[in-house]
A and B are shown apart, each in its own frame.
Chain A
């Protein structure tokens, strides 16, 4: 391992950052910067030519996005592991990057501490994700796959659901108001808002919608 250094391709459009990263990486005994690219096409060409071990890929690139470039690079260099390098702390980026095959996700603000550690982890076959981003990833998991209409129905409050069911069953606003101890005006408001949320306009559409709901519940 000692005589074989990790060959790295750095893709970033900021010359200052590029040279800084090169200095930093070349200073490590087990790493070398095999090439640098400041644009998408150049990065692709170099990835193909150099077949680097690691690609440090910035998400924000002129005219394109690292997320778009990612699958292309993986196609050009099959053995390469890609580490995303970004300002964006939003976990959506992380999710997208991981889904597209990135092995690591480094925030630029943690660059100095994380980078070397991340590169070595990834070379060992692990993934690297900044610990601060883990809760977001976990929070994503619990969303069940409901049908669009179920989701629409669930977006209504309990009260709105009650009112909608009553309307579908043919009760008038006055009757519903009496049943639920609400004012008639409030019922009308519930009704119009729930209809707007469901994207329905007539009572006939509502009846159809509700009957479909019942069927899917059974």
Chain B
């Protein structure tokens, strides 16, 4: 059984908790205030009533005894002269002056009622219930009547020899008094409760208004509106929360801006790359069509001439032309293929490929290049790294050829430990890095993208008249490589 009880209590507590959690903050505070005030009021009323009722009975008892004793002295004289009328008048006056007195009656020594204050005759049941004379003084008794509880006290006249005075005290006015006090307490409680409700409404407004606005701000931020700020007029925990929120929105905004810029740049880069790819394809198509196609057509012509050759001389002339055309075409196609992707890079590796690149550069532009390659003996980086380094050297050299007007170039590649680094330097006219035109920028952006993909770093140092230097560094083994 206790187990079941504990389980039940637990479940009830859980349910209560979940209800409490689901109720809005406003209702929580309101409910708390209201409950506290009402509880306090109820306890006060209960306590006051209990204290008053306790005194009330004792008071009525004393009152009844006191009045009975008092009247027993006063009745003595009236009985002596047998002035029943005067006695009755006196009793009535007394009852009128004391609102708590319900009735008074006087018995003579024989036990007969000689005077009473009942309007419309003495009640018969009371007559029957008072047999003769009792002790001259007796303790007040509590009577349960159809009118409510009545304290009845009896006091003997002249020690009970000449009769007795019987007094019934009801205490209506006192009861009313208590009612009045209780009522006023209840009213006060209600008033305080109303006040408390207003106060807690104000308090919750103070608390929940910034929270509501914070909520609105959060929604706005979620929609991507970073201009919103949470109110920060308060200095309490909520105020600090708002400040924290604002700082977060600010940093979010700047991060988002940076992200957008980067995205934009990347998109631009992607567009340019795609455009570049397309124009490259166009170039290759034209090359194949115009150059190779024409060369093959001329081969066809020469074969026809060979077929029609009338003598030895014509034959050997045709053969000579054929050989020349084919040799030229082979070279053209080979150059095209190397320009696209040098198979040296795949077959022999980075160092021979860079050496070939540099030799080609020297042959084409007549600019001496000092090439220093360190640490690459008998080992090769992975394919992605090789391609990346090759393309960077290629791009850097082609930038030098296009813009630098250099008379000396140096290329340094070093494989040291886990890293490959490179320095490509020229003594040309240099440039202000921020003034690079968009076409060269694309090249630089491409280099940077390539290196960053391989977790490498890259920088260009230059200023007008000082030549330029490109420095890069990257891991020798790429983390991810999709190249085959």
Q: Which residues of A contact B (CB under 8 A)?
A: 59-60, 65, 67, 87-90, 92-93, 96, 108-109, 112, 148, 151-152, 154-155, 186, 189, 192-193, 196-197, 199
Contact = CB atoms under 8 A, between A and B. Distances in A.
Interface string B331-367: 1001000000001101110001001100000000000
Interface stretch (B60-68, B118-126, B261-269, B410-418): B410-418
B314 interface: no
Contacts of B372: 151-152, 154-155
The bracket for how many chain B residues form the interface is 20 to 34
A87 B344 CA distance: 11
A189 to B, nearest CB: 5
Nearest to A92: B352
Nearest to B370: A155
Contacts of A108: 330
Contacts of A189: 461, 463, 466
B414 A148 contact: yes
Given A88-B347, A93-B344, A152-B414, 10 more contacts: A65-B346, A90-B344, A92-B348, A93-B347, A152-B374, A155-B372, A155-B410, A189-B461, A193-B461, A197-B410
Contacts of A59: 347
B375 interface: yes
Contacts of A88: 334, 343-344, 347
Nearest to A65: B347
Contacts of B330: 87, 108-109
A102 to B, nearest CB: 14
B423 interface: yes
Contact of A109 (B327, B347, B421, B466): B327
Interface in B319-337: 323, 327, 330-331, 334
A207 to B, nearest CB: 19
28 contacts: A59-B347, A65-B347, A87-B330, A90-B344, A92-B356, A93-B344, A93-B347, A108-B330, A109-B330, A109-B331, A148-B414, A148-B416, A152-B372, A152-B374, A152-B414, A154-B372, A189-B461, A189-B463, A189-B466, A192-B461, A193-B425, A193-B469, A196-B461, A196-B469, A196-B471, A199-B414, A199-B416, A199-B421
B412 A197 contact: yes
A87 B338 CA distance: 11
Contact of A197 (B343, B348, B355, B425): B425
Interface in B366-389: 370, 372, 374-375
Residues of B contacting A: mostly: mixed
Contacts of A89: 334
A113 to B, nearest CB: 9
Nearest to B372: A155
A192 to B, nearest CB: 7
Given A67-B347, A155-B372, A193-B469, A92 B425 contact: no
Nearest to B430: A189
A114 B206 CA distance: 98
A152 B421 CA distance: 12
A59 B337 CA distance: 15
Residues of A contacting B: mostly: helix
Nearest to B326: A109
A61 B221 CA distance: 59
Given A92-B352, A197-B423, A155 B412 contact: yes
Nearest to B353: A92
B109 to A, nearest CB: 132
B480 to A, nearest CB: 23
Contact of B348 (A87, A93, A112, A154): A93
B168 to A, nearest CB: 113
Contacts of A92: 344, 348, 352, 355-356
A93 B238 CA distance: 74
Nearest to A150: B374
B352 A196 contact: no
Contacts of B410: 155, 197
Contacts of A67: 347-348
A186 B414 CA distance: 25
Nearest to A59: B347
Contacts of A65: 346-347
A189 B427 CA distance: 12
Interface string B437-469: 000000000000000000000000101001001
Contacts of B355: 92
Contacts of A152: 372, 374, 412, 414
Most chain B CB inside 10 Å of its own CB: which residue of A90, A109, A199: A90
A18 B391 CA distance: 35
A51 to B, nearest CB: 27
Contacts of B346: 65
Contacts of B466: 186, 189
A96 B348 contact: yes
A60 B342 CA distance: 12
